[in-house]
Amino acid sequence: MLEVVLSFLILTGAVFTFIGSLGLARLRDFYTRLHGPTKATTLGVGSLLIASALFFGTRGEGVSLHEVLVTLFLFITAPVSAHLLAKAALHLGLRSLAPVPEEPAVPPDGNPEAHPGHKQH
């Protein structure tokens, strides 16, 4: 049963890592390129590290502190670094290739009278 779980985690990790790498190479602008690797590879590398921790933890050596620390470090630093890169790109005025969404007909709170500058369609 352990081999099935480990195989599933390794294959899942490999697929997510490949998708993130492919997104980095194939997506069109900076913001979408940033999204692919930070989401997909975090899940991919996380799955591989969890598989490694399970494998070595069941071999009588106990849970490896290295895999646990690397996993925690990855899950904490990847979103923070992606956020900082996106903020720097916004600060530098880097434009996205995605179209700007139109303003909604009704404000999010559903009360158009509370927002005097809001356009009514």
Q: What per-residue confidence (pLDDT) applies to 116?
A: 58
The domain ranges of the chain are 2-92
Radius of gyration of the CA atoms of the chain, in A: 21
Give 4: exposed, middle or buried? Use CB within 10 Å, 0-12, 13-18, 19+: exposed
Average of pLDDT values for 9-22? 92
% of the chain surpassing 90 pLDDT? 22
Q: How does 82-121 read in b/e, with b if 16+ C-beta sit within 10 Å?
A: beeebeebeeeeeeeeeeeeeeeeeeeeeeeeeeeeeeee
Q: What per-residue confidence (pLDDT) applies to 63?
A: 75
pLDDT tens digits for range 72-116: 898 888 888 889 999 999 999 888 887 777 776 666 666 656 555
Average of pLDDT values for 66-76? 86
> Is pLDDT above 80 for 120?
no
- Predicted structure pTM score: 0.69
Q: What per-residue confidence (pLDDT) applies to 88?
A: 94
**Separation between Cα atoms, residue 25 and residue 6, nearest integer Å:** 29
Q: What per-residue confidence (pLDDT) applies to 39?
A: 79
